[in-house]
């Protein structure tokens, strides 16, 4: 695990983009992508670059249950407006929030992942240590399934909705077991509200009480945080500081 602390999230986005480009230079074809505010600096770097993604494939981490692709709050809509419409990919996969049978949708998406092994997975980090929507208590070997969101996650996501009651209570999420099969992982986290989770992920014991702590067990993981998110880390845990 390599830990990089940057002075701000814009620099973090640049550092993450370097890893994307390096992976492509090494032959990467499939990227696991994330939604939310955290990856936006990375996506801005991708859009601004002259790198051609038209032969690449993306496999997204998650989607809200009950939201159609054209819903402005859906993760499919987020990905279209924040990346795909400006930087087209050959194929893009996001779970179907309107699927009638959750078990069948989970099976379908697990096959998508199996058919498109992920070369580099981009992750954010929840305030409670979740990755994807794998909330505390999630088994480390689980695959894609329908999950119930915790109250802390619902509260955190409510900033994107008119009121908290509009936030979906369930989501489809790629499982931790699937995430760990990725060849490379890049996780980003920003802000003081993520500092506890960052410390637990990097310096705490490996436990599903902090799902992201499992990344300690995997090779080729790069953690990129801003100075606020990394404010509780010991100096010995930090490999590089970039201003």
User: Which active-site residues does the annotation give?
Assistant: 62, 128, 130, 135
What are the counts of helices (DSSP H) followed by strands (DSSP E) for the chain?
7, 11
Residue 9 Cα to chain centre, angstroms: 15
* Rounded CA separation 174/113 (Å): 9
Q: How many CB atoms lie within 10 A of CB 111?
A: 11
Tell me the backbone φ, ψ of residue 57, rounded to 5 degrees. -120, 140
* Rounded CA separation 120/19 (Å): 9
What are the DSSP calls for 77-98, one per residue?
HHHIIIIITTS--SEEE---TT
Contact 193, 231 (CB under 8 A): no
Q: What is the CA radius of gyration of the chain?
A: 17
């Amino acid at each position: 695990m390599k830990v990089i602390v940057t002075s701000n999230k814009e620099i973090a986005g640049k550092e993450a983009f370097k890893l994307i480009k390096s992976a492509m230079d090494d032959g990467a074809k499939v990227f696991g992508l994330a939604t939310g505010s955290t990856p936006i600096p990375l996506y801005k770097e991708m859009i601004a670059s002259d790198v051609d993604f038209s032969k690449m494939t993306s496999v997204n981490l998650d989607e809200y249950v009950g939201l159609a692709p054209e819903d402005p709050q859906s993760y499919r809509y987020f990905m279209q407006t924040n990346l795909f419409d400006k930087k087209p990919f050959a194929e893009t996969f996001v779970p179907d929030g309107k699927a009638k049978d959750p078990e069948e949708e989970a099976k379908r998406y697990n096959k998508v992942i199996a058919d498109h092994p992920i070369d580099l997975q981009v992750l954010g980090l929840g305030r409670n240590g979740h990755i994807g929507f794998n909330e505390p208590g999630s088994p480390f070997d689980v695959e894609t399934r329908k999950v119930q969101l915790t109250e802390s996650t619902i509260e955190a996501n409510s900033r994107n909705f008119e009121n908290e009651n509009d936030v979906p209570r369930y989501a489809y999420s790629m499982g931790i077991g699937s995430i760990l099969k990725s060849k490379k992982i890049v996780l980003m986290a920003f802000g003081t509200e993520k500092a506890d989770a960052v410390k637990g992920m990097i310096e705490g014991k490996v436990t599903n009480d902090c799902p992201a702590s499992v990344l300690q067990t995997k090779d080729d993981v790069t953690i990129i945080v801003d100075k606020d998110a990394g404010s509780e880390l010991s100096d010995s845990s930090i490999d590089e500081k970039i201003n």
